[in-house]
Amino acid sequence: MHVVGQPPAAPARGAPGLAPATGPARALEPVLRPLRAYGEYILAAASALGVILALWAAFFYAPTEAIQGDVQRIEYVHVPLAWVAYLAFFVVFAASILYLWRRDERWDLIARANAEIGTLFTTLVLVTGSLWGRPVWGAWWAWDARMTTTLILWFIYVGYLLLRSYTGRSEGGARSAAVLGIVGFVDVPINYLSITWWRTQHPAPQLPLGGEPQAPPAVVETLLLALLAFTLLYAYLLIQVYRLHRLQTEAERLRARIESA
Amino acid sequence: MQGANGFLIAAYIVVWLGFFAYLGWLALRMRGVRTELETVRALVDEHDRDGGREG
Amino acid sequence: MITMITLRRFGAQTASILWKDLRCELRARQVWMAMGMFALLALVIFNFAFDLRVDNVAAVAPGALWIAFVFASILGLGRTFAAEQEHGSLDRLLLCPVDRKAIYAAKLLGNLVFIGAVELISLPVFAAIYNLPVLTGGIIPIVLLGTVGIAAIGTLFAAIAGNTRAREVLLPLLVFPLIVPVVIGAVRATQGLISPLAGDLPWLGLIAAFDVIFLSISAVTFAYVIEE
C-alpha cells in the first residue's frame, strides 16, 4: 500500500471545477454544454420549487397526527435534515478515502465542503429535535441513545472543522483531516443502529431501509417530497461551498507565491 | 396539544433563519475571497512584470 | 517463508522503537508520575462531586473510574511524539526503511505500558476508597480491552494533533467523541461486575469489536498522517 521513499503524486494544482468531456461524453456535448452553463441555475430553481412544495405539503397536504397534533409536522423538516447530514458525512468519508488514494486536491475540497454542510444540518437536526421533544416528551433533551449519538457526531465534525482551521491549507493538514473523516464516519452506522441496541424514546424510522413504509401514504409522500427537496438544496449548497474553498485555496497559493518570491 | 403549535412554528423559523444566515455568511466569504483574489492577481501581474524587466 | 521474514523484521523494528521510547520516557519520570497523580486526584474529586453514599456508589463509581482513566490517558497520549518533536528526530526516523505500521505499533505499545502502569496503581486505590469489590479476575479483560481502544485512537490522533499549533487543546477534542462507544462499553461492563444484571448486553464483545475496528483503521491510516 504505502511504499517508503516514493514521492507523493503531485496534486492537481488550481484544477478547474469540471474537466472537459472526453470519449463517449463528447457525443452528448450539445446537451452537456448548456447543462454546464445553466445547470447551477436550474438546480437553484428546482431546489427552491422543491422546498416550497415540501413546505406546502408539510402544512396542508399531510394529515394531522391523531395523538401529537400539528406539532408532528416538525418531522417533515427534521427527518430530511438528518438524511442530508448523514449523506454529507458519508461523502466526507468517501472523498477522504479517494483523496488519500488519488491525491487529487479536489476530493479534499469536496470533503471539506461536505463537513461544513453536514455540521450545519446536524445543528439544525438537534435544534428541531429538541423543539419537537419538549411538547411531545416534556423535555428538551432526553439523553436518549439516538440523540446522544447525534450530539457526538456533531462534536466529531466540529472537531474536524477545528482541525482544518488549525492546519490551514497544507497537504499534511488535508491528509490528517482525511484520516479523521474516515475514523469519524464509524460513528454514523453506530448512530443509526443505536436505537435498536439501547432502550430508546426515539421513534423507529417510518421509511426503513429496504422495508415497508410504516405510515399512511400521505405522510410517506410528504416525507419523500421533503427528502428530495432537501437533497437538491444540499447539492446546490455543495456547489457554492466547493467553489468558495477552491477560490480560497487559489488565493492563498498565489499569495504564498508572491511572499516567497 | 394546541399550545404545542408554538414549537412547530419555532422549529420552522429556526431552520430557515439558520439556513439563510448560513447562506449570508457564505456570500460574505465569497465576496471576501473574490476581492482577495483580485488583489493578489494584481500583485502577481505586477510582480511578473518586474521580474520580466530584470530578466 | 517471506511472510515469516517480514513478520520478524516488523517485530524487530517495533521492539527497537519501543525500547528507545521506554528508556526515554523512564528518564522523563515526571510524566507518568503526573498521569498517576492525576488519575488518583480525579477519583478523589468525584467522591466530593457526587456526594457518594452506600446507596449510590455502585451506580456512579464505574463512570468515575473510567473518566479518571481517560483523562490520565490523554495526558500521556499527548507525549506520544514529544521526544521526536523536541529533537526533530521524526524526519530521521521516517527516512529509515521502517514500516509505518511498526512505528504505530511501537507507539501504541508504549502508550499501553504507561497507561497500564497508571491503571495498575489506581485500581487498588479505587477499590479501597470507593469500597467496591472490583479487584477480581473479571476486571482484567475489561480494563485491557478498554485501554486498547482508548490508546488505539489516542496514538493515531496524537500524531494528527502533533502536526498542529494547538496540540494540547486539539487532542482531547478529537479523541473524546471518538472513544465514546468504548468508554460506554467499559463503564457498563464494570457496572456488571459490581452488580450483575440479567440479560445485559455483551459489553466486552462490543468493546472488542470497536478495538478491532479502531486498530485496523488506525494501522492503515497512520502512514498518511506522519508522511512528509
Chain A residue with minimum CA distance to B19: A120
Asked whether the predicted pLDDT for residue A237 surpasses 70, the reply is yes
Across-strand partners of A69? A65
| Close Cβ partners of C42 (under 8 Å, ≥ 6 residues apart) | C64, C67, C68, C71, C72
Query: What does the pLDDT read at residue C27?
Result: 63
**DSSP H helices in A142-186:** 145-167, 171-185
Cβ atoms A159, C177 nearer than 8 A? yes
Q: Residue window 151-180, chain C: list those with CB within 8 Å of chain A.
A: 153, 156-157, 160, 163-166, 170, 173-174, 176-178, 180
Query: What does the pLDDT read at residue A257?
Result: 83
Backbone angles phi, psi at A69, to 5 degrees: 80, -160
Task: Grade residue B33 by pLDDT with cuts at 50, 70 and 90.
Answer: very high
Provide the 3-class DSSP secondary structure of residue A46.
helix
Asked whether the predicted pLDDT for residue A255 surpasses 90, the reply is no
List pLDDT tens digits, range C66-91.
999 999 999 888 888 877 777 777 77
Distances (CA, A) of A214 to A57, A207, A211, C11: 19, 6, 9, 55
Asked whether the predicted pLDDT for residue C130 surpasses 70, the reply is yes
Contacts of A69 in chain B (CB under 8 A): 1-2, 4-5
List pLDDT tens digits, range A141-177.
887 777 888 888 999 999 999 999 998 888 889 999 9
Chain A residue with minimum CA distance to C203: A197
List pLDDT tens digits, range B4-25.
788 888 999 999 999 999 999 9
Cβ atoms A237, A117 nearer than 8 A? yes
- Rounded mean pLDDT, C24-53: 81
Task: Grade residue C48 by pLDDT with cuts at 50, 70 and 90.
Answer: confident
Inter-chain residue contact C100 with A2, CB threshold 8 Å: yes
What are the extents of the domains in chain B? 2-54
Chain B residue with minimum CA distance to A113: B26
Neighbours of chain C (3+ CB pairs under 8 A): A
What value does the mean pLDDT of chain A take? Answer: 82
From CA A135, how far away is CA A123, in angstroms rounded? 20
Query: What does the pLDDT read at residue A36?
Result: 78
Task: Grade residue C153 by pLDDT with cuts at 50, 70 and 90.
Answer: very high
Query: What does the pLDDT read at residue C32?
Result: 77
Closest by Cβ to B33, choosing from A134, A237, A248: A248
Cβ atoms A150, C158 nearer than 8 A? no
When scoring C100, C101, C164, C210 by the number of chain A Cβ atoms within 10 A, the one with the most, hence best to mutate, is C164
Q: What is the CATH number of the domain that holds A230?
A: 1.20.120
Q: What is the dihedral of CA A111, A117, A120, A126, to 10 degrees?
A: -80
From CA C39, how far away is CA C33, in angstroms rounded? 10
From CA A169, how far away is CA B25, in angstroms rounded? 20
Tally the domains of chain A: 1
- Name the residue range of residue A99's domain: 40-199+214-260
Contacts of A178 in chain C (CB under 8 A): 224
Closest by Cβ to C177, choosing from A100, A159, A178: A159
Q: Please name the residue that has the C-alpha cell 488583489.
A: B39
Contacts of A254 in chain B (CB under 8 A): 37, 40-41, 43-44
Contacts of C153 in chain A (CB under 8 A): 183
Inter-chain residue contact B14 with A257, CB threshold 8 Å: no
Extract the C-alpha cell encoding C4. 515469516
**Do A and C count as touching (3 or more CB pairs closer than 8 A)?**
yes
Asked whether the predicted pLDDT for residue A59 surpasses 60, the reply is yes
Inter-chain residue contact B4 with A70, CB threshold 8 Å: yes
In a domain, A16, yes or no: no
Contacts of A176 in chain C (CB under 8 A): 160, 163-164, 225
Asked whether the predicted pLDDT for residue C26 surpasses 70, the reply is no
Extract the C-alpha cell encoding C153. 485512537
Chain B residue with minimum CA distance to A74: B8
Give the 3-state secondary structure percentages of chain C, helix then strand then coil, rounded to 5. 80, 0, 20
Contacts of A78 in chain B (CB under 8 A): 11
Torsion-angle region of residue A62: left (phi > 0), alpha (psi -120 to 50) or beta?
A: beta
Chain A residue with minimum CA distance to C159: A176
Torsion-angle region of residue C203: left (phi > 0), alpha (psi -120 to 50) or beta?
A: alpha
What string of H, E and C letters represents the secondary structure of C64-118?
HHHHHHHHHHHHHHCCCCHHHHHHCCHHHHHHCCCCHHHHHHHHHHHHHHHHHHH
Cβ atoms C83, C89 nearer than 8 A? yes
Asked whether the predicted pLDDT for residue B2 surpasses 70, the reply is no
Query: What does the pLDDT read at residue A3?
Result: 38
Name the residue among A199, A96, A79 with its Cα closest to residue A150. A79
Inter-chain residue contact C178 with A183, CB threshold 8 Å: yes
Contacts of A124 in chain B (CB under 8 A): 14-15, 18-19
Chain A residue with minimum CA distance to B30: A244
Extract the C-alpha cell encoding A209. 431501509
Inter-chain residue contact B4 with A78, CB threshold 8 Å: no
When scoring C167, C174, C187, C215 by the number of chain A Cβ atoms within 10 A, the one with the most, hence best to mutate, is C174
Work out the minimum CA distance from A8 to partner chain B, whole angstroms: 28
Inter-chain residue contact A74 with B33, CB threshold 8 Å: no
| Close Cβ partners of C98 (under 8 Å, ≥ 6 residues apart) | A4, C13, C17
- Rounded mean pLDDT, A218-227: 90
In a domain, A17, yes or no: no
Lowest-confidence pick of A30-39, C24-33, C126-135: C24-33
Query: What does the pLDDT read at residue C88?
Result: 74
pLDDT greater at residue C155 or residue A24: C155
Asked whether the predicted pLDDT for residue C33 surpasses 90, the reply is no
Half-sphere exposure (Cβ direction) of C186: Cα atoms closer than 13 Å: 28
Query: What does the pLDDT read at residue C50?
Result: 81
From CA C167, how far away is CA C176, in angstroms rounded? 14
**Do B and C count as touching (3 or more CB pairs closer than 8 A)?**
no
What are the extents of the domains in chain C? 2-226
From CA A202, how far away is CA A197, in angstroms rounded? 12
ipTM of the complex, rounded to two decimals: 0.89
- Rounded mean pLDDT, C174-193: 89
When scoring C163, C200, C218 by the number of chain A Cβ atoms within 10 A, the one with the most, hence best to mutate, is C163
Asked whether the predicted pLDDT for residue A218 surpasses 50, the reply is yes
For A103-136, b/e burial (b = at least 16 CB within 10 A) is bbbbbbbbbbbbbbbbbbbbbbbbbbbbbbbbbb
Q: Please name the residue that has the C-alpha cell 494547538.
A: C166
List pLDDT tens digits, range A68-112.
788 888 889 999 999 999 999 999 999 999 999 999 999 999 999
List pLDDT tens digits, range A22-33.
566 677 777 778
Q: Please name the residue that has the C-alpha cell 520580466.
A: B52
Name all contacts of C202-206 with Cβ < 8 Å and 24+ positions apart: C204/C141, C204/C142, C204/C145, C206/C181
Query: What does the pLDDT read at residue A120?
Result: 96
Cα A250-A254-A255 angle, rounded to 5 deg: 115
What value does the mean pLDDT of chain C take? Answer: 86
